[in-house]
Amino acid sequence: MIHFVLLISRQGKVRLTKWYSPYHQKERSKVIRELSGVILTRAPKLCNFVEWRGLKVVYKRYASLYFCMCVDEDDNELETLEIIHHFVEILDRYFGSVCELDLIFNFHKAYYILDELLIAGELQESSKKTIARLIAAQDSLVETAKEEANSISNIIAQATK
Amino acid sequence: MATSTATTSSISSSLVDTLFQRSLDDLIRSLRSNPSLEPVLISRALAEIRREIRSTDQDTKSIALEKLTYLSAIHHVDMSFASFHAIELLPLTTHRCKRVGYQAASLSFNSSTDVILLVTNQIRKDLGSPSDPVVALALEFLSVAATTQLSMDLVVDVHNLLASSRFNVRKKATATVLRLLLECPDSVRIVFKKLVDNMECVTDQRIVSATVGVFCELSGLDPSLYLPLAPEFYKILVDSKNNWVLIKVLKIFARLLPLEPRLAKKIVEPISQHMRKTNAKSLVFECVRTVLSCLDGYGNVFNLALDKVKEFFISDQDSNLRYLGLLALSMLKPVYSWVVEENQTVIINSLDDSDPNIQHQALNLIMGLVNESNVIELSDVLVNQALKSDPLFANEILGALLSSCSRNFYELLVDFEWYVSLLGAMSRNPHCTRGEEIERQLVDIALRVKDVQPDLIQTARDLLIDPALLENPFLHRILSAAAWISGEFVEFSRNPFELVEALLQPRTNLLPTIVRAVYIQAVFKIIIFCYSSYLDKIENSELSCQNDSVGKDQVFETNSMTNSGCDDDSISNLLKTDDLFTYKCLSHMLNLIKAAVLPLSVCDEVEVQERARNVLGLVHVLQIPVPETETSTSKDMNHITNIVRLTQNAFSERLGPVPTNAQEKVPVPTDFELLDNLFDIKSILGEDDAEIPTFSSFLPRGWHHQETKVEESEEQPLESTSFLADHRKRHGVYYLSTEKHETVGGDEFPQANNYLDASITESVLDLTHKSLNPSSKSKTTKSRPVVIKLDGEESVLICDPKLGKKKGKDSLQGRDENAASLNEESTSVAKEISREAGHGNSVSRHHGRRDKKHRHSKHKNHLHENDDPKDGKHHKNPHSRYKHRKRDDDGSSTGLDVAQQSMDVPDLLL
């Protein structure tokens, strides 16, 4: 299973973290520091796998972002690489040629997309189309609620209640 | 939402918060605009969030929580204080707020979050919601944050969703079950049947995929429970078109196969089908992994997998595939080392790869290949490789070589001469940081393998003489070992004077003091050796002089030559003659030593100072006027002879290894009274005017200061020995009784070794527990030399085949007597051991003689035993090797009732 997903920028800034195995806050920042030290220093064109603490970290660089997933030692490395690519494609489709800034300003949306892709550390949806449909449905649900909440009359009504 | 107690001010502040609250975007922008002020901005934002999050307005609260979630995920801010506020958002009907609440909860909750108990009912409600996104939120929360209690409470609700007609919900519920089962294994009896049903779901492949994922993880915990499901897994393996599902199913089979070998025959065909048909490298690799680790008995599919591995190697554009190819080979059992050998060139080339992971895998594979016939060839390749690798990998190579060559008392090695020179070569690697291990092995080999001692001193000389090596601080430990060897085995040296020059070269001031102390002590031993050789020569010629007057003239000739005085020729020039130990050489050496050691006698470090003074004292005594005539030798020479002979006696006993438990072998005598008080100790001490020995570290130094003259320090041990013997004679009751008294030092008292302390360097003391080990020199032979082993309770000796059984027995007994004064009982043990040694002997002989051809035929034999894939012959009953797995009926494991009802794999599959 996937233990965690990390998105790290080339400068070592964290862009997204999702933990499927229990790691405490302190451990989390330690893991991130350790791994970004290992992964960011690796030269291009080397293999995409790093053996780490009895687990394996599969990473791939897209533009300025490193997508990393930590899997069990006997998990299939190439499959994990495919999942990473799958995730990037979905992000790309959703944001329209995704860039790092998209993920910075829509950080929660990246989470919702990841939640549709993976659950409990396993791939749950292999169809890009289905994920796009599910996300769109949620977005419209949120938008309608937002419009209602943001109408000035609503705010005044709430405040003077 | 506003509470009735809210004051006007709180309402207005809430209104202000709502109207002027910074959104998440604003927060991100402000953080990005001033990266240098990040900590300040974060703490300011946190203060803001703490205020806003208490707001009664749900939007204000949710935006505050969203910001906090961002700070927590990206900037590692602790958000545990907001756990309750996250829970507050869960019951809201607005999807946006609910989602923020769930996201915050799933990111921050863990087993130590106490408020998690409050969410049970809300989640239950959401799981029952008609809205898919709401159920999805609850399930996603459970899949990452479920605790044992939550799992127990909610497993039934999730179970109900497993049969839901909404496929998206059903899929997520299936995946979530995994987390619930990991937290609460007992609930497997509730969900098992539905899970199996889901696996057979034909309408939606995603549900099958999710279920297989769950079983794949669960089978890693206890595969035997899922053996009955083999037919279902098999069906998926044959029918499924989804690579992700196939990979998971293959993993499950890889876990089931060791339990039920009969499955192998069944799945071989579909696996080779997949391997041939698919284009997905991930699936091919999974098939290869399964075949190489579990299906090695099936020739066709095995060869197919090996072909695929070779394809991986050929595609040298993709370093991923090359890495995985090496990884696949490393999964092979040792029996198939011929496969690795076949690919040896590729693997050795991979050592040059730019990727450290690939290098590491290649090194592992090569180390797995090493055996006694190729160890020399491979080690030379590796040591050369280490020279051109980066420091990190170079040391990894050296470390791997050192540990495999020294494994199990150097069992791989036949040619120690070569190995010692290899150790020298390793030390010369500029990246070498394994000094400690090389030091250990040099000393270890020196003590264990007598035949190699002459080669060791040659290697030690080469290391000591090279001034460049002194610069590398990692090599100082090796130099320390080399210095010790040069002192201890100086009799094998071709040119002791050269050693002295090397040991005293000016650059030795780069060494740490502890190593310098070893250097000086080695010089001490070399002086003694040179002088005793010189004296031997004179005595011999005097002997021959009595028989033959011509011999006498020769002595005079040598002496008169020395009389001509020292010129400034270097020692090595003087040594061109065969006659090594002339007076001239010796006195030149003494001058050199005096010049080099004198500054050290005021050194701050006690170890160095003490040894330097010892050496100077000795030099002082030995530097007497040149014996010109026969008569003048008489007094001075006698004096020198006495000192040299006495000191040499102290050094001449070779120190051999002793097992750490040697003391335990000494039986307690029957008349040994351990419980009696030592009430009469006072009177004993009084009689002898002796003091209770103290072991304060200060003592040796004070002692040293009292006596600057060496003769005293040399005679002191003997004095103490005779004193000890005397004491023992009078108060024998307090000593362990010994059957045999050795001549060395007059007795067997274990502490007798202590008087050698002065002559042994510190580092050596650390390394070995010594005993006196009388040894007869054995001839150097081409076959494997004797390696002395001391292990656990029994010492096992692998003898030189040519020395035969008797010799092994004798030397072993001899050592044991010396080491621990065994009585008859333990002698019989020793006999037994030596019998074993004889056995080991024949084994080693067998190994030694085995040539390549033999080895090949041996492989063949192995292969035949395990179904030679090349022959394509299969065992008729592969399962006959395995007992059919019996199960406990008490269900104590994880209580999988459903599974236990139909534990055995139905015959239809087999």
Q: What is the pLDDT of residue B535?
A: 82
Q: Based on DSSP, count helices (H) and strands (E) in chain B, helices before strands.
A: 43, 2
Q: Which is more confidently placed, B489 or B552?
A: B489
Sorting pLDDT into bands at 50, 70 and 90, what band is B589? confident
Q: Which of B546, B540, B476 is nearest to B511 (CA)?
A: B476
Mean pLDDT for the stretch of residues B7-25: 63
Q: Which of the residue ranges B549-563, B652-666, B803-817 has the most confident prediction, judged by mean pLDDT?
A: B652-666
pLDDT at B677 over 80: no
Mutant choice from B13, B144, B396 vs A, greatest count of A C-beta within 10 A = B144
| Interface test mutation site (partner B, options A30, A42, A78, A113, max chain B beta carbons within 10 A) | A78
**pLDDT tens-digit map of A86-136:** 999 999 999 888 888 888 888 888 888 999 899 888 888 888 888 888 888
**What are the sequence ranges of the domains in chain A?**
2-160
Nearest CA in chain B to A17: B73
Q: Are A122 and B251 in contact (CB < 8 Å)?
A: no
Instruction: Note the pLDDT tens digit of each residue in B29-55.
Output: 888 888 888 888 888 888 888 888 888
CB B801 within 8 A of CB B844: yes
Contact B57 A158 (CB under 8 A): yes
Q: What is the per-residue pLDDT for B769?
A: 37
* Section B51-67 average pLDDT: 85
Q: Is the dihedral of CA A125, A131, A137, A140 positive or negative?
A: positive
Do residue A81 and residue B14 have CB atoms under 8 angstroms apart? Answer: no
Residue pLDDT, tens place only, B699-750: 333 333 333 333 333 344 455 566 666 666 666 555 555 444 433 333 333 3
Pick from A80, A62, A60: nearest CA to A70 = A80
Q: What is the pLDDT of residues A8-42, one digit of tens each?
A: 999 888 899 899 988 888 888 899 999 999 999 88
Q: What pLDDT is attached to residue A155?
A: 67
Which residues in chain A are closer than 8 Å to B28, comparing Cβ atoms? Answer: 104-105, 107
Backbone φ and ψ of B655, nearest 5°: -95, 125
CA B70 – CA B516 distance, rounded (Å): 60
Please name the residue of chain B whose CA is at the shortest distance from the CA of residue A14.
B74
Burial of B777 (C-beta count, 10 Å sphere; 0-12/13-18/19+)? exposed
A45: left (phi over 0), alpha (psi -120 to 50) or beta: left
Is the pLDDT reported for residue B325 higher than 60? yes
Instruction: Evaluate the CA torsion angle B89, B90, B91, B92 in order and state its sign.
Output: positive
Q: Which residue among B32, B74, B172 places its CB closest to the CB of A14?
A: B74
Alpha-carbon gap: A35 to the closest alpha carbon of chain B (Å): 15
pLDDT of residue B550: 44
Say if the Cβ atoms of B244 and A79 lie within 8 Å.
yes
Instruction: Tell me what pLDDT residue B558 has.
Output: 40
Please tell me which of the candidates A76, A119, A126 has its beta carbon nearest to residue B285.
Answer: A76
Give B132's pLDDT tier (boundaries 50, 70, 90): confident
Q: Do A107 and B143 touch (CB under 8 A)?
A: no
Question: Are the C-beta atoms of residues A138 and B133 closer than 8 Å to each other?
Answer: yes
Domain positions in chain B are 662-902
CA angle B98, B104, B110 (to 5 degrees): 125
Closest approach of A105 to chain B, Cα-based (Å)? 6
Tens of pLDDT along B600-638? 888 888 888 888 888 888 888 887 655 544 444 566 677
pTM of full prediction above 0.80 = no
State phi, psi for A6 to the nearest 5 degrees.
-130, 135
Structure confidence by residue, pLDDT tens digits, B395-417: 888 898 888 888 888 888 888 88
d(CA B155, CA B194): 12
pLDDT bracket for residue A84 (50, 70, 90):
very high
Residue type, A52: W
The length of chain A in residues reads: 161
pLDDT of residue B315: 65
Say what the pLDDT of residue B16 is: 61
CA distance A25 to chain B (A): 7
- The answer to whether the Cβ–Cβ distance between A108 and B66 falls below 8 Å is yes
Q: How far apart are CA B310 and CA B325, in angstroms?
A: 7
Q: List the single residue in A43, A105, A142 with the smallest CB-CB distance to B28.
A: A105
CA pair distance B873, A131, nearest whole angstrom? 50
Above 80 in pLDDT, residue B797? Answer: no
CA distance A15 to chain B (A): 6
Radius of gyration of chain A (CA): 18
Partners of A70 in the β-ladder: A4, A57
pLDDT confidence of residue A150: 66
Q: Do B319 and A120 count as a contact with CB atoms less than 8 A apart? A: no
The strand pairing partners of B657, in sequence order, are B770
- Mean pLDDT is lowest, of A141-150, B1-10, B80-89, for B1-10
Do residue B355 and residue A46 have CB atoms under 8 angstroms apart?
yes
User: Are A138 and B99 a contacting pair at CB < 8 A?
Assistant: yes
* pLDDT of the residue at B242: 86
Shortest distance, CA A10 to any CA of chain B (angstroms): 15
Percent of chain B with pLDDT over 90: 1
> What's the pLDDT score for residue B730?
64
The answer to whether B617 and B601 have CB atoms below 8 angstroms apart is no
Q: Do B175 and A107 touch (CB under 8 A)?
A: no
Cβ B12 vs Cβ B2: under 8 Å:
no
Is pLDDT above 80 for B872? no
Q: Give the confidence band of B468 by pLDDT, cuts at 50, 70, 90.
A: confident
Q: What is the tens place of the pLDDT at every residue in B546-579?
A: 665 444 444 433 443 333 333 334 444 444 444 6
* CATH T-level topology, domain A2-160: Beta-Lactamase (3.30.450)
| Strand intervals (E) in B734-868 | 770-772
> Which residues of chain B have a CB within 8 Å of the CB of A134?
168
B495-535 residue pLDDT tens: 888 888 888 888 888 888 888 888 988 888 888 888 888 88
**Residues of chain A with C-beta less than 8 angstroms from the C-beta of B246:** none
Whether the CB-CB separation of A115 and A5 falls below 8 Å is answered with: no
Picking from B96, B210, B358, the nearest residue to A146 by CB comes out as B96
The confidence score (pLDDT) of residue B316 equals 63
**Residue B812 pLDDT:** 38
Region of B792 on the Ramachandran plot (φ > 0 left; ψ -120 to 50 alpha; else beta) = left
Mean pLDDT of chain B, nearest integer: 72
Count of CB pairs separated by less than 8 Å, A with B = 155
- How close does chain B come to A96, measured CA to CA in Å? 20
Lowest-confidence range among B539-548, B655-664, B896-905?
B896-905
The rounded distance, in Å, linking the Cα atoms of B760 and B447 is 14
pLDDT given at position B502: 86
Q: Which residues pair with A123 in a beta bridge?
A: A118
Express each pLDDT in B174-213 by its tens digit. Answer: 999 988 888 888 888 888 888 888 888 777 888 888 899 9
The per-residue pLDDT for B85 is 86
CB contact under 8 A, B32 and A104: yes
The amino acid that residue B581 corresponds to is: F
Note whether B284 and B308 are within 8 A (CB): yes
CB contact under 8 A, A142 and B96: yes
Please indicate whether, in this complex, the C-beta atoms of A125 and B206 are within 8 angstroms of each other: yes
Phi, psi of A122 (to 5 degrees): -125, 155
CA B427-B429-B431 angle, to 5 degrees, is: 110
